[in-house]
Structure 1
Amino acid sequence: MLGVLVTFAQTDKFDRATLVKIAGELRGPFEGMVGLRFKSFMLDEDGVQARNFYVWDDEEKGRSFFTEELVDKVAGIYGVPPKIEYLDIVGFVDNSGA
């Protein structure tokens, strides 16, 4: 499994309501996406970093998803370019079915 942490950092705080709206508008294309186990939209405690976390069952699909075109698009949406980190998930607990 591949984890991908995408961080948008700025000096001013993100508007939480705006991020909630972005998450609501952008969730549709991810629902049922092949190879994607889950995606979360997050805001850090200080409000200066918006983060999206993905878990991909298929590493190739996960890595190929983040094209230069996509990175440019999300930079426009969030107002800052993202930092993308690829993580090897070596263990996973999923309590969603419990």
Structure 2
Amino acid sequence: MIGVLVTFTQTEKFDRSTIAKIASELRGPFEGMAGLRLKSFMLDEDGTRARNFYVWDDEAKGRAFFTEELVDKVTGVYGAPPTIEFLDIVGFVDNSGT
């Protein structure tokens, strides 16, 4: 398993309703995506960073997803270029089935 943390940083605050709209509009393509266990759309406390967190069952698919074309597209959506961190998930608790 691999985690990917994508962070968009602005000097001005992101609008929470805008991030919620992005999450709603972009949700569909991720539902049922092969190799993707979960994706979250997040906004930090001070509102200057929007973050997306992915958990991929398949590392190769997770790494292959983040193409230059995708980075260009999401830069346009969020108005800021992302930083992308790949994280080795060494343990995982999933309570969604309880």
- The one-letter code matched in structure 2 to 1:74 is V
- 4+ long deviations beyond 4 Å: none
Structure 2: stretches of 5+ with no match in the other structure = none
Structure 1: stretches of 5+ with no match in the other structure = none
User: How far off is 1:4 after superposition?
Assistant: 0.1
TM-score by length of 1: 1.00
Q: Which residue of 1 aligns with 2:23?
A: 23
Q: Which residue of 2 aligns with 1:10?
A: 10
Q: In the TM superposition, what are the counterparts of 1:74-89 in structure 2 within 5 Å?
A: 74-89=74-89
CA RMSD of aligned residues (A): 0.2
Query: Alignment partner of 2:97: what SS?
Result: coil
- The percentage of aligned residue pairs carrying the same residue is 81
Q: In the TM superposition, what are the counterparts of 1:1-98 in structure 2 within 5 Å?
A: 1-98=1-98
User: How far off is 1:50 after superposition?
Assistant: 0.1
The count of corresponding residues between Structure 1 and Structure 2 is 98
User: How far off is 1:14 after superposition?
Assistant: 0.2
CA distance in 2, matches of 1:22, 1:95: 26
Task: Report Cα offsets for 1:22-79 as digits up to 9, x if no partner.
Answer: 0000000000000000000000000000000000000000000000000000000000
Query: Alignment partner of 2:20: what SS?
Result: helix
